Amino acid sequence: MSLRLGDIAPNFQAKTTVGDIDFYEFLGDSWGILFSHPADFTPVCTTELGKTALLQGEFEKRNVKVLAVSVDTLDHHNSWVNDINETQNCSVGFPIIADTDRNVATLYDMIHPNASATVTVRSLFVIGPDKKVKLTITYPASTGRNFFEVLRVIESLQLTADYSVATPADWKHGEDVIVVPAVSTEDAIKKFPKGVQVVKPYLRYTPQPNLDK
C-alpha cells in the first residue's frame, strides 16, 4: 500500500555512500527528504543529484536532511558520485542508499510496475520531525524534478506547521499568506497584529507572520 499524507514514514537501516545508517537516527529532529532515482549513470539523475548538492546549504538552512536512493550497488554509487561532481561542478555530501534488495523501494512504494518492473520512479517524500509524511511527489523516469519547488514547499510546510495560515497559489517566501478558515476574523485580527485583509469572509490575507517586518 502506498504511503499517504500523515502516515508514519517507515524506518529502515541501509548501506549508503557515507556509511551504514538508521533512517530515524539520521533524521534526528530534522525535516527530511527521501528521493529515489531509476538508476545510476543516467543523465537526468546525474543532473538531479548535482542540483541537490548545489542546494545543500539551502536545505541545511531550513533544517532539512537529504537522502537519495537507487537500487544499484554501493560501488556503482561511489563511482557515479565522481561523475556527478565532475559534470555538475558540485560536491555530493549527502548519503545515497544502495537499495539492491529493494527494501526501501518496497517500503515507500517506489517501483510502479506499469512504468517499470525493475527500477524506481522519481518519488520524493518530505518527512517532518514527527516522522510523518508531509508531502509526496512522483515524476516519471523521463522528467527531472524542480528542486526550487521542493524548497518552496518545505518553507510552506514549516510555516503552516507553526501558524494558523495556508499559502496561496505560487506563494514565495516573504509574500502574504491566507488565514485558515478555522480562525474567525475577530480572532485573526488578534492573532496577526500585522493586519488582516478581508477579501471575502473565507478569503483573508495577512503578512507572513514569522518575519520581522
CATH of the domain at 138: 3.40.30.10
Q: Are residues 34 and 139 in the same domain?
A: yes
Q: How much is the pLDDT for 49?
A: 96
Q: Is residue 6 situated within a structural domain?
A: no
Q: Dump pLDDT digits (tens) for 26-61.
A: 999 999 999 998 888 999 999 999 999 999 999 999
pLDDT of residue 119: 55
Is 45 an active-site residue? yes
Q: Contact at 8 Å (CB) between 116 and 42?
A: no
Catalytic residue, candidates 9, 34, 45, 151: 45
Is 0.75 topped by the overall pTM?
A: yes
Longest dimension (CA), the chain: 61
Residues 53 and 139 placed together within one structural domain of the fold: yes
Rounded CA gap, 186 and 81, in Å?
Answer: 55
* Residue 95, Cβ density class (10 Å: 0-12 exposed, 13-18 middle, ≥19 buried): buried
Each residue's pLDDT tens digit, 66-88:
999 998 899 999 999 999 999 99
Domain limits for position 58: 13-145
Answer whether residue 211 is part of any domain.
Answer: no
